[in-house]
Structure 1
Amino acid sequence: MPGCLLFLTAVAGGTAGAQNATTTKDVGEAALQSIPPRSWVVDAAKNELEALHHTDSYLRYRTHTVSEKGDVVRDVVESRDGTVARLIMRDGKPLTEEQDQGERQRLNDMMASPSTYLRHVRNSESDRKMADKLVPLMPDAMIYTYTPGQPQSGKNGGPPEVVLDYKPDPKFNPPNTEAGALTGLEGRVWIDAKSHTLVRMEGTISRGVNFGWGMLAHIYPGGKLVLDQTSVGENRWIFTYFSMKLSVRALMLKTVNVNTESTGSDFQKLGPMSYQDAIRMMLATPLPER
């Protein structure tokens, strides 16, 4: 998802480094807040990275994204080889016959050319690799505190949620350029106390962040990000809502306002299949009725 990386990498981290090494396994509800807040983040990070790679877990679902590029709905299928998607609606309407033909041609070309699909996978893998680098930094990049009395998100089906506020740790020294994004992010997280998985995260860019001393990019303060996740069973969690409102200046040029809202829905579990079979499945599905 374009632009989602900043928030994916802020969905907790899993280092086993300094600070308290206490875990939150088998903790009774009455004792939830007796556990150091960071420990919840460590547990949630491990689960977040597993969900990111979802080994031996495959889904089909729809995404609805509204951004500067338009209003689109896609049919998405996860395969053994990676994720494939088919555009099925634009601006609230099913594709025209001409638009659908172009989309079918794109997918058929990809099915006939594994090298074309490999390029597609490599492009999508860049975000995942970035998340793999940044997520583990979160326990030490942020200071976490309990926020008792805060309302539950109500998005995890009933188990209690641990609610934590977070803000940048001034002692954190970003190990790479990308990690600098973490120094300007603060907000609140909701963690399922039973599964130790992130349920909701809210973030605000509290101060401007420079990349490469501002020569590569600058994120202005005031940006907002929200992420909701849900369980689809068998320890698999996936996003149901993501929104991002940011102002970014790239390469010392013009400022771009990023305003994206995306939802995931209609989740179905699938068995493992090749990307070609995933495309065939999508192409065999009629478009939504006009």
Structure 2
Amino acid sequence: MRDGAPLTPAELKKEDQQVEKRVEAAEHRRSPITPPERERNRVDRLRREEQIIDDALGIFDVEMAGRETTGGRPAILLNFWPRAAYKPKTSEGKNMQHVAGRAWIDEEDYQVARVEVEVIDPISIGLGILAKLQKGASIVADRRKFNDEIWLPMRTEITLNARVLLVKGFNIRWINEYSEQKKYTVDTILKFSDVEDTQP
């Protein structure tokens, strides 16, 4: 609409063309790569993600340690630690070889309700020159089921002991707590007016 009056079909077509040109210009500014390059990058990214998942599944020995309750729900407790003989394919996999932990899997939903991961050997970044994550660093993450529908994070605690650039050492304890989750219901109504076809 312009000045309270509906656009004519010719004005509407002209407006659509201008919007398309602006979108194309924005895409060109944002990403100067060609569509085949973009597709190749997407395939490479997916291949790398698959390799990381393969490493995660291949690196760890897992044992069922028992059953416990977490968040008021029954869970299966799993212990995991790195296999010495596994040769990772990715840098993430090489870092995973230096951690061990425990995971609580909800018996009903098969969701990770809690995970504890600890660095058991120092992790070097950039040959240890850029940074070195010391033994004992840990991550603890808790998740809960809300409204009997969806699993959401409740609390994350990260403890780091690291050295940066061979000189600066630091200790960090970071706690993130999530609360007051709410469910929102959104209704969307789309209305389309009839447009007369002006093409012969």
C-alpha displacement at 1:209, in angstroms? 1.4
Unaligned runs of 5+ in 1: 1-117, 119-128, 274-290
AA matched with 2:137: G
Q: Could you say which residue in structure 2 is the equivalent of 1:243?
A: 157
Q: Could you say which residue in structure 2 is the equivalent of 1:46?
A: none
Q: Could you say which residue in structure 2 is the equivalent of 1:67?
A: none
AA matched with 1:260: W
TM norm structure 2: 0.60
Contact 2:70 2:104 in 1 (8 A): no
Aligned equivalents of 2:89 and 2:117: distance in 1? Answer: 22
CA spacing shift, 1:270–1:166, aligned 2, 3 Å: same
Percent identity between matched residues is 20
CA spacing shift, 1:266–1:217, aligned 2, 3 Å: same
Contact 2:56 2:93 in 1 (8 A): no
After the TM superposition, list the runs of 4 or more consecutive aligned residues in structure 1 that deviate by more than 4 angstroms. none
CA spacing shift, 1:175–1:161, aligned 2, 3 Å: same
Contact 1:177 1:211 in 2 (8 A): no
C-alpha displacement at 1:232, in angstroms? 2.2
Instruction: Say which of 144, 167, 170 aligns to 2:81.
Output: 167
C-alpha displacement at 1:185, in angstroms? 1.0
Aligned equivalents of 2:54 and 2:147: distance in 1? Answer: 25
Aligned equivalents of 2:139 and 2:152: distance in 1? Answer: 17
Aligned equivalents of 2:57 and 2:80: distance in 1? Answer: 10
Give matches, 1:139-288, under 5 Å. 139-148=57-66, 152-155=68-71, 157-158=72-73, 160-233=74-147, 236-271=150-185
Aligned to 1:267, the other structure's residue is in SS state coil
Name which structure has the greater RCO, CA cutoff 8 Å, separation 6+: 1
C-alpha displacement at 1:217, in angstroms? 2.1
The size of the alignment, in residue pairs, is 142
Aligned equivalents of 1:172 and 1:137: distance in 2? Answer: 9
Contact 1:223 1:247 in 2 (8 A): yes
C-alpha displacement at 1:182, in angstroms? 1.0
Aligned equivalents of 1:247 and 1:215: distance in 2? Answer: 15
Aligned equivalents of 2:97 and 2:185: distance in 1? Answer: 40
Q: Give CA deviations for 1:57-83 in whole Å, capped at 9, x if unaligned.
A: xxxxxxxxxxxxxxxxxxxxxxxxxxx
Q: Give CA deviations for 1:190-210 in whole Å, capped at 9, x if unaligned.
A: 001221100111122111111
Aligned equivalents of 1:199 and 1:228: distance in 2? Answer: 6
Contact 1:161 1:191 in 2 (8 A): yes
Q: Could you say which residue in structure 2 is the equivalent of 1:50?
A: none
Aligned to 2:178, the other structure's residue is in SS state strand
Unaligned runs of 5+ in 2: 1-29, 31-44, 188-200
C-alpha displacement at 1:271, in angstroms? 4.5
Aligned equivalents of 2:87 and 2:166: distance in 1? Answer: 24
AA matched with 2:129: M
Aligned equivalents of 1:223 and 1:272: distance in 2? Answer: 42
Aligned equivalents of 1:221 and 1:174: distance in 2? Answer: 20
Instruction: Choose 1 or 2 for highest CA Rg.
Output: 2
Aligned to 2:153, the other structure's residue is in SS state strand
CA spacing shift, 1:238–1:168, aligned 2, 3 Å: same
Contact 1:180 1:210 in 2 (8 A): no
C-alpha displacement at 1:135, in angstroms? 5.3
C-alpha displacement at 1:233, in angstroms? 4.5
